[in-house]
């Protein structure tokens, strides 16, 4: 956490995204990127840095963060407080996107864990299903979806679900 604080990130999770992005080259200037479950904001912070032009001058692209929990503002990130399954949040998203489709959907969402493996696996799968459903509606056909997934009970089935839905699936363990 000390390194994250020193580099201005709100959480260490930024480094997981950085590691995946360095190998997969998912984030490029000019993209439209949605960060589902964005609070506290470290993934949005990383994306903002990647889309930033030279010193000063804002970003090249659009970043939208959605979460049911409040988040401290991040420059150039459109934050929507609400549940992306509800019309009010979707209306706000559509207003920001102005009819454009998304290049990259990020989801660092995780369930509240119960400690019961089967229950936690089912909750994780439900959250991933939400991200896939969101991507079907809002993402370009050539777009990418990156989700956090715990490698435990149900992991193999989740990877298979992705293989049915997407042309390329690349499981990572950052």
Q: Is 60 a catalytic residue?
A: no
Give the C-alpha separation, 19 to 146, whole Å: 13
Out of 16, 140, 148, 173, the active site residue is 148
- Are the CB atoms for 135 and 145 separated by under 8 Å? yes
Tell me the helix, strand and coil percentages in the chain, rounded to 5. Answer: 40, 20, 40
Alpha carbon 131 to chain centroid distance?
9
Q: What single-letter DSSP state applies at residue 29?
A: T
Q: Are 40 and 13 in contact (CB under 8 A)?
A: no
Query: Cβ neighbours of residue 46 under 8 Å, at least 6 residues apart?
Result: 9, 14, 17, 18, 21, 27
The catalytic residue positions are: 148
């Amino acid at each position: 956490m000390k390194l994250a604080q020193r580099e201005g990130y709100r959480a260490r999770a930024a480094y997981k995204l950085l590691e995946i992005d360095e190998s997969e080259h998912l984030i490029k200037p000019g993209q439209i990127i949605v960060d589902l479950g964005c609070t506290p904001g470290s993934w949005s912070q990383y994306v903002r840095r990647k889309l930033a032009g030279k010193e000063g001058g804002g970003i090249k692209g659009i970043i939208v963060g959605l979460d049911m929990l409040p988040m401290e503002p991040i420059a150039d990130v459109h934050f929507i407080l609400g549940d992306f399954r509800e019309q009010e949040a979707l209306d706000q998203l559509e207003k920001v996107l102005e009819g454009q489709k998304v290049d990259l959907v990020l989801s660092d969402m995780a369930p509240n864990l119960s400690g019961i493996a089967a229950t936690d696996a089912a909750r994780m799968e439900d959250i991933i299903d939400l991200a896939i459903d969101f991507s079907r509606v809002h993402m370009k056909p050539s777009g990418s979806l990156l989700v956090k997934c715990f490698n435990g009970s149900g992991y193999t089935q989740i990877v298979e679900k992705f293989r049915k839905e997407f042309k390329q699936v690349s499981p990572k363990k950052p």
